[in-house]
Amino acid sequence: MPYPVSSDPTRPERATDVSALTDTELLVEIRQGNRRAFDDLVARKTGPLLNLAYRLIGDREEAKDLVQLALLRAWQHRSRYNARWSANTWLYRITTNLGIDYLRARNTRREKAEPVRHHLRSVHSRPGVGLEKLMADEALAILRDLASDLSLRQRKAFWLREVEGLSSREVGEVLACSESTVRNHLFAARRKLREELSQRYPEYAALARAGK
């Protein structure tokens, strides 16, 4: 992992045993320029961040690039880290923001519609499919398409809470808002998703209702 911002070469690397540190303690060390601590953080967090990025953008290779960029951003902006945040809160915020930027720059919904409908046909005959089933890995393409009309806040809240499984409190920390605001975003997101499901995929909406 290259370092876009170097530590002060006149300052010796700290001899802290980083493997024994908590995630938050690692970030405190990183904030002070400890590159060994950053390497340990990369080893700990690459897997979970890859899962988050893939679920959000649906492309494994692009997810790898996105996670590398997120980790480099974490190093570049290490001085901004506040120790009251958990490591996951900070890293999820960076990764989610980059993922949303990626989705906004990607092909339009119309260009993606036919591949999504092709995927829909492949799962259409499966029994017991409800809205929760849309969050299974094989149906994430459909969910991403349905979520394209959500506001950025609603989309982030939905992915972090319903797909990543973060608590409302943790989502609030990532989005820098209150738990009540998170719940409002989630309520609006779920309602919008159900409306979009009925309008754009009526045949699948019938299955979703049957699978409740």
C-alpha distances (whole Å) from 122 to each of 50, 57, 116, 127 are: 26, 20, 10, 12
Helix (H) or strand (E) holding 123: helix 109-123
- What kind of fold does domain 1-106 have according to CATH? Rna Polymerase Sigma Factor; Chain: A (1.10.1740)
Query: Which CATH architecture is the domain 108-212 placed in?
Result: Orthogonal Bundle (1.10)
Q: List all residues 6 or more positions away from 105 whose beta carbon is below 8 Å from its beta carbon.
A: none
Helix axes 179-200, 202-210, angle to 10 degrees: 120
Q: List all residues 6 or more positions away from 123 whose beta carbon is below 8 Å from its beta carbon.
A: 129, 138, 139, 142
Domain residue spans in the chain?
1-106, 108-212
Q: What is the chain's Cα-based Rg? A: 20
User: Per-residue pLDDT for the chain (212 aa), expressed as one digit of tens each?
Assistant: 544 443 444 344 444 578 888 998 999 999 999 999 999 999 999 999 998 898 888 788 899 999 999 999 999 999 988 888 888 889 999 999 898 888 777 654 444 444 544 544 444 444 444 444 444 544 566 677 777 778 888 888 988 888 788 889 989 988 889 999 999 999 998 888 888 877 776 665 555 555 55
